[in-house]
Structure 1
Amino acid sequence: METIKAVFSDQNITWVSVDLERPASVLEVKEKYRLDEEFIKYALDKNERARVEYDPLTETLLVVYNLPLQEKEDNYFVTSPVTFMIQKNHFFTFTSATTNYLESMIEKIISNDPDLSQFSLLFETIFAISDRFIPLIEEVNDERNRLNKDIKQKVSNKKLLALSDLSVGLVYLSTAIRQNSVLLASLKALKFYRNLTAEEKEQFEDAIIEANQAVAMIQLASDVLKQLSDTYNNLLNNNLNDTMKVLTLWSIILTVPAIITGYFGMNIAIPYIDGSDSWIKIIGLCVLLSGWIFLFIWRRIK
């Protein structure tokens, strides 16, 4: 069954909480309140993107908003959609086991202002959700700064993989935050927006400002992390190039003694190589040519 969490406002608005992991509860809510079947499908879709829909016939507003999860998955932050529906004097929330902490946020908002309208509750909840992204972004920035200091001291695969995890986490957060921002921008074009009170519109503008702030922060964090990753990639490539230069230089130098000793090792008479000190002449020639080649190539590399 659905859970009626609260009745608030002087308009007797009922907040109905629905657990998406209980199909019977979802079906009961759908039939009892005659909710649109397509809206219910949006609520049930765990991979639904942020979206807003309005049915003028039933005066039902649907808002699917991305909510950051409290626990990390695979060492980075992820998000999950939560669904709000407003139909006349009913305020519906559809949450799962990972997103049901949203209820405590809504309870706090209602306790602070029990006379707010259902639209005010929606906008303040969206504001609170957008605000929860900011500490996550700051945590990513702190982790990035720590990794940056460690990598400067010593580069290791473990540290580079940790930096990669930060990039993946930022992709998830960035995508979710941008979808939320686009949703809020498109909400203004819907018919119901014109009927909002001045206070509700002000609360909506506050929600937009908070969402845009999160977008700006995530964009800056993404740019810095991308620049940092590119810098380390360039450094690793340069180190590899330097290593290849040294190996190439030594391979050329070591080729010279092999050629000379092979030539003088032939079983034929060779001028100036006849005596007990011949091996000294051959070694001297190898050292002389190898040294000359080393200096010649090294100057061109530099």
Structure 2
Amino acid sequence: MLSIYSSAENRQLTKLENIEPGCWINMIDPSDEELIFVSKKTNVPMDFLKAALDEEETSRIDIEDCTLIILDIPFTDMDDNSLTYDTYPLAMIHTDKVIITVCLKNSKILSDFTERKVGSFFTFKRSRFMLQILYRIANYYLIYLRQIDKKSSIVEKQLHKSLKNKELLQLLALEKSLVYFSTSLKGNELTLEKMLKLDILEKYEDDSDVLEDVIIENRQAIEMCTIYSNILSGTMGAYASVISNNLNIVMKLLAAITIVMAVPNMVSGLYGMNVVGIPFATNPLGFWYVVALIGIIGVFAIYYLNKKDMF
């Protein structure tokens, strides 16, 4: 999908039909025809436009006639009615006339700009606009990390009385998401620091300060990711033991009940034998004597097992 936007000074974002100087070209999973069209109109190398279409593309900067910046951005997705988190590469291409963004999936980060949820941005201020995108990326990492923390807390409460693996698998999925986030954030940090050293985007006043703010936000996200990952790792180990212990308690209780229930079966089985000379066989109260014997042995078994903390 190819969309072209433009916002002149003191004017809101508008959608264009053709590529003009100072516009923003947003490409979401573009077709070959769209890639060729944009490449011819902007003279951007095709490999720059296709770079972000590889899911395994790493964060980097490439400079030729134009500047290519690739960063990993966070995404949410639904998997088996559960919210999962992942990252995909986003390419931002800075030319003398336009700014181009390319991504495999539609991101909330860019949607916030197209839906006018971000104020005071202009497509013709290409460097500042790219920095605003970078700042938005760092903010969404922090938002999703807080969501992961809240979700893990909910799962932990469910684990207290759980005997199933469902909750542990949910924690495993969250930990997997944190690994993706941590890897992507560290790669982004290197790219952002390289941007700061190269001064490739310092075209407007205070752009350097904005980039430093982005780096600070990114580092905060890395620290949060590391903390949450360590907590989840310890929690999973602890609650795996809790689930195993809960199962042992249930098995212990069932074993104790089985032992107590075996007492009447054993006594009644002996008196059910067709042999001569069984005690109380001729006594009119013999049945009740046997019942009393079963009760006494049963009470003793319960008392003994209770002393052994089997109940």
The number of residues matched between the two structures is 292
Q: Please list, as runs of the form range in 1=range in 2, the aligned pairs for 1:90-239 lying within 5 A after superposition.
A: 90-95=98-103, 98-99=106-107, 102=110, 104-105=112-113, 111=120, 118=127, 120-142=128-150, 151=158, 168=173, 171-172=176-177, 175-176=180-181, 178-186=183-191, 188=193, 193=198, 200-224=207-231, 233-239=240-246
Structure 1 residue 126: deviation in Å?
Answer: 0.7
Q: Specify the alignment match of 1:5 in structure 2.
A: 6
Give the alignment's TM-score, normalised by structure 1.
Answer: 0.72
Kept in 2, the 8 Å contact 1:66–1:177? The answer is no
- How far apart, CA to CA, are the structure 2 residues paired with 1:183 and 1:294? 64
Q: Specify the alignment match of 1:269 in structure 2.
A: 276
SS at match of 1:82: strand
Kept in 2, the 8 Å contact 1:130–1:210? The answer is yes
Q: Specify the alignment match of 2:39 in structure 1.
A: 30
Q: Specify the alignment match of 1:253 in structure 2.
A: 260
State yes or no: 1:62 paired with 2:62: no
Give the alignment's TM-score, normalised by structure 2.
Answer: 0.70
- How far apart, CA to CA, are the structure 1 residues paired with 2:105 and 2:51? 17
- How far apart, CA to CA, are the structure 2 residues paired with 1:126 and 1:26? 23
Amino acid at match of 2:39: K
Change (3 A) 1:281 1:166: closer
- How far apart, CA to CA, are the structure 1 residues paired with 2:290 and 2:120? 95
Change (3 A) 1:216 1:105: farther
SS at match of 2:305: helix
For residues 115-158 of structure 1, what are the alpha-carbon distances to aligned partners after superposition, in whole Å with 9 as ceiling and x for unaligned? 9562x443332112211233333344455556667x49x95799
Residue 92 of structure 2, aligned match among 73, 78, 84: 84
Q: Please list, as runs of the form range in 1=range in 2, the aligned pairs for 1:280-291 lying within 5 A after superposition.
A: 280-291=288-299
SS at match of 2:186: helix
For residues 86-116 of structure 1, what are the alpha-carbon distances to aligned partners after superposition, in whole Å with 9 as ceiling and x for unaligned? 2455422124672276165388879357895
Amino acid at match of 1:295: Y
Amino acid at match of 1:283: V
Structure 1 residue 17: deviation in Å?
Answer: 0.7
Q: Specify the alignment match of 2:52 in structure 1.
A: 43
**Which structure features the higher share of helix residues?**
1
Kept in 1, the 8 Å contact 2:84–2:177? The answer is yes
Kept in 2, the 8 Å contact 1:2–1:26? The answer is no
Kept in 1, the 8 Å contact 2:94–2:126? The answer is no
Structure 1 residue 66: deviation in Å?
Answer: 0.9
Change (3 A) 1:275 1:51: same
- How far apart, CA to CA, are the structure 1 residues paired with 2:142 and 2:293? 70
- How far apart, CA to CA, are the structure 1 residues paired with 2:6 and 2:125? 15
SS at match of 2:22: strand
* RMSD over aligned Cα atoms: 4.3
Change (3 A) 1:172 1:27: farther
